[in-house]
Structure 1
Amino acid sequence: MTGLRWWAAFAVFAHHMSNLAPLPIQHALVYGNYGVTFFFVLSGFVLTWSARPETTTSTFWWRRFARIYPSHFVALLLAIPVFYSFAPDPADWWVKPFDIGILLLSVVLLQGWSRDPVILFSGNPAAWTLTCEAFFYALHPALYRAFVTLRVRGALIATASVFAAALAYRLAVVLLPDSGLGALPLPITRLSEFVIGIGIAHAMRMGWRVHIKPIYCYLAGGLLLAAILLAPRIASPGSPAWFFLATSNEWIILLFAATIAAVAWRDVRKRFSLLRSRPLVLLGEWSYAFYLVHATIIYAVLAIFGAQDTGWVNLLWYAAVLAVSIAAAAALHYLVERPLERRLRSWWDRRAALRLTASTS
């Protein structure tokens, strides 16, 4: 699963590189933004798979804070010089006038509750997803308790119901454009992805055997992307192709859920997988840090060298920026993410042990 995380992060990187060095296949690479969707489903899966009944809610929340916040704060400080200016009308389109109030929303991970791009993408633009994750973490203990009494069939029915609700919401947004449903905050609209991850993880913990080979999921992903790219040619209002495009987000979620389940089941059975190779595991371990820094590096390069013309020669830019981003991610992981998470968790565990000793003495 760690190796799989890398490919999701790389997909987001490829999507953002279109602003610096677009490739002739950019119409396909734009769907790399769905790497975020994959992370949301995976987050629900991993947190549920690793959940232990003896872990208190406060301990769970602290551990999530220790996991994501130190790197987020450092990456935010690194992003400010790239994405902000004290000039009232910055020359570059991605640079915003400095606003301490809006930046403070990024510090406390509240920026993702706004649909205003100036606020939503404030601070480190990639960090809007952390607002969603913080919301998911706040709800996970309650959501986990809702699933914990379910057996395999109940968990799968609940998961299918969440998927159906997400599909209905998407159709409502498309068919009722004046309803205001499309303006709901992202943490709410993306919650279904997290809950679907919870559902499939709990079903597997209860004994669900996943009879799907990962290779079939990868092939299905290629076919789904091809269908999404080709459907506009035959999509007319109200046609099946039109409805397929309108709900493509949910079909991608379903694909990701199946892929995560298939790969996890292969891990459980300890079958051979290239995803467990040392290089991919390392890249997967660095993937969170990579996600946080890659956009800052891309736009810093864009500010210096400008946007490039579309062409295959831009693969050289991909290689160079990717190498710098991986190096920066490794540094952030080893200098900030891992040591501060360890220290924060250790401090909390010592504090909890002292409180337990005091209460029993």
Structure 2
Amino acid sequence: MPETTATPKVAKERFIGLEWLRFLLGLYIVIFHTLHNYPSIREWSHYVTDIGFFSTSAFFVLSGFLLTHVYLDEQYRLRESPKSFWLKRFSNLYPIHIGSLVLAMAVSALVGYLAIAPGDSDISLRFVVYDVNNDVGQLNWQSLNHTMSPLETGINVLLNLTLLHAWNPLYLTFNPPSWSISALFFFYLTFPWLAPRLRRVLHPRRAILLVNLIYLVPPLYVILTTDYGVPETGILHRNPLIRLPEFAAGILLYTFYALRKSQGRMMSRGQRYVALAIIAVAVVIAVKLLGLGHAWYYALHNGLLLPFQLALVYVAAQWGEPRSQKLKRWAARLGGASLPMFALHVPLYAVFSRVERVLSGNPGLCATDFSGCLAAAGELHLWLYPVFLLLTVAFCVLFQEQFVVRVRKFLLRHLLRRSPDDHVANLSRSQR
């Protein structure tokens, strides 16, 4: 393919349903990582949050689907050079990652210094927790705590700056959820080679089944040969190569979608509702299975739920566009904020929860006795949790539109040596 920086023509079909799905997946990840902090609902809240990994996997599937829709032409070739594609993907991800990394590191240092909540004094930039999925953490949680050496810290800073941090199988650092951005960037590196080949598959359902079976091999090996400790837990959780089948399945799902559409065999409204009901039942069963042992977590996390994640994306892709232009605009804005929600919610919750604790204690002391004010910090209140969710969504929308888009324009202007204005609007609408 000749080197070109021509802007790809975005296909006319717009997947408004996928925009809403992206937003809901991002919102669920926020809930997954924060709802457990409220003791009053801890007896049942884990039923809501136990399966948060479903959201990340579905997001990877969705990314493969949308990228294929946008960047492959009618002959299943990349619409532009791989270099141009990679630079655009980098310019989309890197501002989100660096912005969230800086915020997370600053908040972590501040939280450890102020020590408002129980356990805050242990938090620092060097504090990490080893990844295991066995009883060790339940019997002796402190045995998993680790303080990185200066050399370890420097290596992990470098890994974060180069988007390689998902390859660390031992522990998550600085801004734990950002491993998904590292994995996405690896997927993007494979896309120019992988997507055209998968798009030409004649029997996508068989190919999806094969990819799903391949995806199940690593967790089955770990279940049969290990005790669910280090480093196998971290490898299965976030290693980009291990998680690549989810992205590849998304590419194949678009191949299947395009084939069915060309045959005029799309789902009816009733079929879509039945599919959603089946997905909901599968999620409920999965939550029950998670309580039966560590092996089920590995199998469900890495492959058993992939058919239902594919079904969810497939159903959402067929949801029609609303007539309201306002709804379409909000779908694009909220969908565009989904990846910032993945990346920013941990530091945002750290700030919100500590401020709430101070305000529920004796905030009047802060003007005269700051240490006493912090010592008098109260408890968290569940009724304020919706406020946190609302503020998080609003912040991420503004972060995407006022920071990410501007930095992306700057990067593209210099990396591609041309004005990016003609495609920035399209890029902001979909996570490709």
- TM bucket, shorter chain: 0.7 to 0.9
Q: Which residue matches 2:156?
A: 102
The separation in 1 between residues aligned to 2:45 and 2:188, in whole angstroms, is 34
* Percent identity of paired positions between Structure 1 and Structure 2: 21
Instruction: For residue 293 of structure 1, report the CA deviation from its aligned partner.
Output: 1.5
Change (3 A) 1:263 1:276: farther
- 2:24 matches 1:4: no
Taking only aligned residues, the RMSD between alpha carbons, in angstroms, comes to 3.4
Instruction: For residue 349 of structure 1, report the CA deviation from its aligned partner.
Output: 4.5
Q: Which residue matches 1:17?
A: 34
Q: Is the 8 A contact 1:12 1:34 kept in 2?
A: no
The separation in 2 between residues aligned to 1:50 and 1:302, in whole angstroms, is 40
- 2:85 matches 1:60: yes
Q: Which residue matches 2:177?
A: 126
State the one-letter code of the partner of 1:318: Y
Deviates more, 1:285-294 or 1:22-31: 22-31
Residue from 273, 287, 303 that aligns with 1:229: 287
Across the two proteins, how many residue pairs are aligned to each other? 335
State the one-letter code of the partner of 2:223: V
Instruction: For residue 246 of structure 1, report the CA deviation from its aligned partner.
Output: 5.5
Report matched runs for 1:27-66 at 5 Å: 27-30=46-49, 31-52=51-72, 53-66=78-91
Residue from 244, 264, 285 that aligns with 1:191: 244
The separation in 1 between residues aligned to 2:234 and 2:260, in whole angstroms, is 39
Structure with greater helix percent: 1
Change (3 A) 1:8 1:20: same
State the one-letter code of the partner of 2:101: L
Residue deviations 1:308-343, cap 9 Å, x none? 9xxxx9442321211221222122112111222234
Q: Is the 8 A contact 1:214 1:259 kept in 2?
A: no
Q: Is the 8 A contact 1:8 1:36 kept in 2?
A: yes
Q: Which residue matches 1:357?
A: none
Q: Which residue matches 1:332?
A: 399
Q: Which residue matches 1:78?
A: 103
Q: Which residue matches 1:218?
A: 276
Q: Which residue matches 2:424?
A: none
- Which SS does the other structure have where 1:50 is aligned? helix
Report matched runs for 1:1-361 at 5 Å: 1-21=18-38, 23-24=41-42, 25-30=44-49, 31-52=51-72, 53-84=78-109, 91-97=120-126, 99-117=153-171, 120=172, 122-151=173-202, 153=203, 155-177=204-226, 184=235, 186-207=239-260, 209-211=265-267, 213-231=271-289, 235=292, 247-249=299-301, 250-267=303-320, 278-305=329-356, 314-350=381-417
Deviates more, 1:209-218 or 1:159-168: 209-218
- Which SS does the other structure have where 1:55 is aligned? coil
Give structure 1 stretches of 5+ with no counterpart: 354-361
- Scaled by the length of structure 1, the TM-score of the pair is 0.80
Q: Is the 8 A contact 1:8 1:39 kept in 2?
A: yes
The separation in 1 between residues aligned to 2:399 and 2:317, in whole angstroms, is 27
Change (3 A) 1:106 1:232: closer
The separation in 2 between residues aligned to 1:80 and 1:302, in whole angstroms, is 17
Residue deviations 1:58-83, cap 9 Å, x none? 01101101111112212211111222
